[in-house]
Copies of this chain bind each other. A is one copy, B any other.
Amino acid sequence: MGQRLNGGYMPRSYFGDVRQLHLFSEMTEDSYEQLMRGSYVQNFPPQIDMIHEGESSDFLHVVLSGAVELYASWNGRETSMDIVRPISTFILAATIKDAPYLMSARTIEKSRIALIPSQDVRAAFDADNDFARAIVTELAQCYRTVVKTHKDVKLRTSLERLANYLLRQQVRAGGADKFDLPFEKRVLSSLLGMTPENLSRAFKSLIPYGVVVDGRAIHIQSPSDLREFAKPSPLIDDRGSITVGGTVGET
């Protein structure tokens, strides 16, 4: 403990950013100061591997800016599991259980990451009852999100997953009929469990439903047609949409 890599101790200017997460907002000031004392902030360029599955979980990570891809590998294959955007934590479960990471993480953009020593998180968990309860809420949320993702994969074809993904993104874009994909199509294809080639063709297949694609720009010309095809369900597609500092919408 105490070894500083780069970036040094966490500047107090970030204290507020991290604190606004549900996970930390109800902690006692004491516990929070204690946690931050051993934490630090690092800046990463894009495409940097931060953690690798199988390693022991030394830090709880908080994405302050940028974007992080969680992915998994087996037998030479690789798949994207989730994309984490500010301001959220990741690998909380591994931290709490003091168990190896189940997923790897790499930046997909230039990112600023807060690193909180796992043993400090566990100490706060033991000492602070409200923090323990906040972790329950967070983990229940994470659990339900993975269950939804798993239903998505097992119950839908790749075309249906894409259609529903676009509708979810439209919601995140505030309902606008034009928005940009938040990352490369290559990453999207892996996230949706398909190949880049298949994704390319899937976009084509959605033209009859009024989906127009130009690079990363998506135009949903006829939301009703797309919805009729996609048949979105709150039990799969309602994901916690984030407005900085608060989760909006029950999940």
Contacts and interface: CB of A to CB of B under 8 A. Distances in A.
Interface of A: 53-54, 72-75, 77-79, 81, 92-94, 96-97, 99-100, 102-103, 125-126, 129, 132-133, 135-137, 139-144, 146-151, 153-156, 193, 231, 233-236, 250-251
Most buried by B among A73, A74, A77, A103: A74
A73 B231 CA distance: 13
B233 A74 contact: yes
Contacts of A79: 151, 154-155
Interface of A: prevailing SS: helix
Contacts of A135: 136
A154 B150 CA distance: 9
Given A74-B235, A100-B235, 5 more contacts: A72-B151, A79-B154, A81-B151, A100-B234, A132-B132
19 contacts: A72-B155, A72-B235, A74-B151, A74-B155, A74-B236, A77-B155, A81-B151, A96-B136, A96-B137, A96-B140, A97-B141, A100-B235, A103-B147, A125-B133, A126-B133, A132-B133, A139-B139, A143-B146, A146-B150
A54 B129 contact: no
A153 B79 CA distance: 10
Contact of A235 (B54, B136, B137): B54
Contacts of A142: 143
A88 to B, nearest CB: 15
Most buried by B among A94, A137, A154, A250: A154
B97 A144 contact: yes
Contacts of A96: 136-137, 140
Given A132-B136, A149-B150, A155-B79, A144 B235 contact: no
Contact of A97 (B100, B126, B140): B140
Given A100-B235, A132-B129, A144 B74 contact: no
A156 B77 CA distance: 9
B147 A75 contact: no
Contacts of A132: 129, 132-133, 136
Nearest to A233: B74
Contact of A155 (B73, B133, B154): B73
A74 B137 CA distance: 26
Contacts of A129: 129, 132
